[in-house]
């Protein structure tokens, strides 16, 4: 094989590899299973959890397409109580978002929840 043929093969392989990389990246970033690409919002009236693509986020509260009301809010995840851990966490809407006074408490375990709620030091993911 000549040097020219080797260069052509190398270029073709590089272009195919780049094409495969672009395809896989677009496929994964467009997937609802890609966590950073979706947000879980909670309806402040019904308690329903709704996954929204990041690109569709608007100021809170957002319109719930099922009810026609602006009741979808961002949540913080509580993993402090045993009941919360058993179900993989409780989504809690912060009082500040709901324009309520006082600290936000988890409705399941009663733990005070704050923005960017920390994970308990003894929590191990997957051991719910």
Q: Read off the tokens for 41.
A: 């919002």
Q: What is the pLDDT of residue 29?
A: 54
Q: What are phi and psi of 74, to 5 degrees?
A: -70, 155
Q: What is the pLDDT of residues 77-104, one digit of tens each?
A: 999 999 998 888 999 999 999 999 999 9
Say how many residues make up the chain: 128
Please answer whether residues 79 and 108 qualify as being in contact, where contact means their C-beta atoms are separated by less than 8 angstroms. no
Give, in order, the Cα–Cα distances in Å from 60 to each of 9, 10, 78, 83, 115: 53, 51, 20, 28, 15
Mean pLDDT check: name the lowest of 18-22, 57-61, 82-86, 111-115.
18-22
């Amino acid at each position: 094989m000549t040097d020219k043929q080797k260069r052509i093969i190398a270029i073709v392989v590089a272009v195919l590899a780049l094409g495969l990389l672009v395809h896989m990246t677009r496929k994964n970033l467009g997937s609802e299973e890609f966590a950073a690409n979706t947000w879980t919002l909670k309806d402040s009236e019904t308690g329903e959890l709704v996954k929204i693509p990041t690109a569709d986020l608007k100021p809170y509260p957002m319109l719930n397409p099922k009810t026609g009301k602006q009741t979808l809010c961002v949540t913080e995840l509580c993993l402090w109580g045993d009941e919360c851990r058993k179900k993989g966490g409780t989504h809690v809407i912060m009082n500040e978002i709901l324009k309520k006074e006082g600290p936000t408490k988890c409705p399941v375990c009663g733990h005070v929840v704050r923005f960017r709620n920390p994970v308990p030091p003894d929590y191990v993911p997957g051991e719910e």
